[in-house]
Amino acid sequence: MTRKGWVVGAAMMLALGLTQASAQDSALKVGMITTLSGGGAGLGIDVRDGFLLAVKQAGVPIDVVVEDDQRKPDIAVQLADKLIQSDKVDVMTGIIFSNLAMAVIPSAVAQGKIYLSPNAGPSQLAGPGCNPNYFNVAWQNDNLHEAAGAYANSAGHSNSFILAPNYPAGQDALTGYKRFYEGELAGELYTALGQTDYAAEIAQIRASGADSVFFFLPGGMGISFLKQYADSGVDMPVIGPAFSFDQGILQAVGDAALGVRNTSQWSKDLDNPTNAAFVESFQAEYGRLPSLYASQGFDTANLLISAMGKADVADADAFRAALKEADFDSTRGAFKFNTNQHPVQDIYVREVVKEGDVFTNRIVATALRERGDAYAADCPME
């Protein structure tokens, strides 16, 4: 045997040894598909960082394979196939946007993978389309908008102008708001998805004689709207879901967001020990304040860790039952699963404030207590 042959042989033996070592190691394997590039990357980065922080703190054997979906459904589907077939993950998580969730989750859970959603909660997966392998650890998509409607009633608003982008989540948002809101509508408007100039809409709001504005414009759309709204001199109160007021984008909105009320299931000042420890350790680890997305990633990992302590992932029934107990300390305080495996939780009203140089939120009221969702009754699971 030549010298070269020896080297190759030794390398092969070494490789064999390595495979054996990794086969013996019984780490649970998590496949995380999330948005790490393009618009919306801030959300995926926060979910990932929150998730990895919880794994690190618990010190349990979990391998996390992180993949970037670039916010494109076709790429998310390819990544899901790769994670299931070649990485052979046990559990999947991570997707931020509902259209990607709908492209990946139904097929992944049908192949027997457990999926824990840290953000998207499309209504299609909460009603008749619910699945024993699918757990939502964030919210059903309508929840925060319902809370905004409930808050508008208690704040005495009776003539709202409402607007959202013209796509499924935008239509769900306005439906959710109207489900709880009892007053009149001064106007109802759908904008283009990705629209950045709202001069025409703001002029209509000014002319409508409304007493309040509800808007759902996630990400950059919300930044643009709030800045232009503040600059237009219209000064009626604005309400929105937390998506336009999370820690990542508040700094980009600046003073224009001060005092705006927004609804969220989490806030950094929620008074419970888990949350206090989470906020402190997140800031220490990453040098920035956590957003609600980070809290959702953190809770998702802790739910998974709680189930690992009770059952083996190879025993699917026992593992699902352990997940459903939701026996973990959530950053949100009380947290349990509904029959459709979506959260039952309190939803709060927050106000944007400035602490030193940093814009952030504080809780001013509770909008809905122990809210499940409107679709659970249609889910055949018990």
Q: Which residues bind other proteins (CB under 8 A)?
A: 36-39, 41-42, 45, 166, 171, 188-192, 194, 196-197, 199-201, 203-204, 206-207, 219-221, 223-224, 227-228, 231-233, 248-249, 251-256
Residue number with CB closer to other proteins (192 or 334): 192
β-partners of residue 123 are none
CB of 44 to other proteins, least distance (A): 9
Residue 206 or 336: the one with the smaller Cβ distance to other proteins is 206
205 vs 347 by CB, closer to other proteins: 205
Pairing of strands 238-241, 261-264: parallel
- Given a contact cutoff of 8 angstroms between Cβ atoms, the answer to whether 191 and 163 are in contact is yes
Between vectors from CA 17 to CA 14 and to CA 21, what angle results, nearest 5°? 140
Nearest residue to 212 (alpha-carbon basis) of 181, 257, 191: 181
Query: Which residue lies nearer to other proteins by CB, 291 or 300?
Result: 291
CB of 247 to other proteins, least distance (A): 9
Cβ proximity to other proteins, 149 vs 218, nearer residue: 218
CA dist 247 and 249 (Å) reads 6
Provide, rounded to whole angstroms, the least separation between the CB of residue 124 and other proteins: 19
Shortest distance in whole angstroms from residue 194 CB to other proteins = 6
Q: 234 φ, ψ to 5°? A: -75, 130
Least distance CB 249 / other proteins (angstroms)? 6
Q: Assign 219 to helix, strand or coil.
A: coil
With respect to other proteins, which residue has the nearer C-beta, 345 or 360? 360
Q: Which helix (DSSP H) or strand (DSSP E) does residue 322 occupy?
A: helix 316-325
> What does the alpha-carbon distance between residue 314 and residue 319 come to, in Å, rounded to a whole number?
8
With respect to other proteins, which residue has the nearer C-beta, 252 or 311?
Answer: 252
Closest approach, Cβ 26 to other proteins, in A, equals 35
User: Which CB, 67 or 90, lies closer to other proteins?
Assistant: 67
Element (H, E) at 13: helix 3-24
Q: Which is nearer to other proteins, 293 or 348 (CB)?
A: 293
DSSP 3-state of 329: coil
Question: CB 282 → other proteins: shortest distance, Å?
Answer: 15
- Give the shortest CB-254-to-other proteins separation in angstroms: 5
To the nearest whole angstrom, how small is the minimum distance from the Cβ of residue 218 to other proteins? 11
Angle subtended by helix axes 273-286 and 41-58, to nearest 10? 110
